[in-house]
Amino acid sequence: QGVRRSWSLLRRRFWPVLGIALLAGLISNVLGQVLGVVPTFAGLIVGLEWGWLLVALGAILTALVTTPIVAIVATLQYFDARIRFEGFDLQVIAAELGPARARL
């Protein structure tokens, strides 16, 4: 059911959404490679006994930086689709203006 809703939201803008997702993935990949190159080379220089620790720390650093980028892009695309096709921004404004909201 969730996949059907996603498809109905993004059906009309499939190619732009796909392009943005691929671009975000490409940027994340390049950034991850740049961030991971120094710890990897340092791990190779240190040797196998302790170098694996540097390589692992580089992978963790890369994941900590690149994973949120992809998640943020996906979230922004979702809210963009809801605003464009469902009027989500108007729903939020209407909810704030409603009489049921308690005022302090």
* Per-residue model confidence as pLDDT tens digits over 31-44: 999 999 999 999 98
Confidence of residue 56 (pLDDT cuts 50, 70, 90): very high
Name the average pLDDT for the chain: 87
* Per-residue model confidence as pLDDT tens digits over 3-25: 888 888 888 889 999 999 999 99
* Predicted TM-score (pTM) above 0.85: no
Query: To 10 degrees, the CA torsion angle through 83, 85, 86, 90?
Result: 40
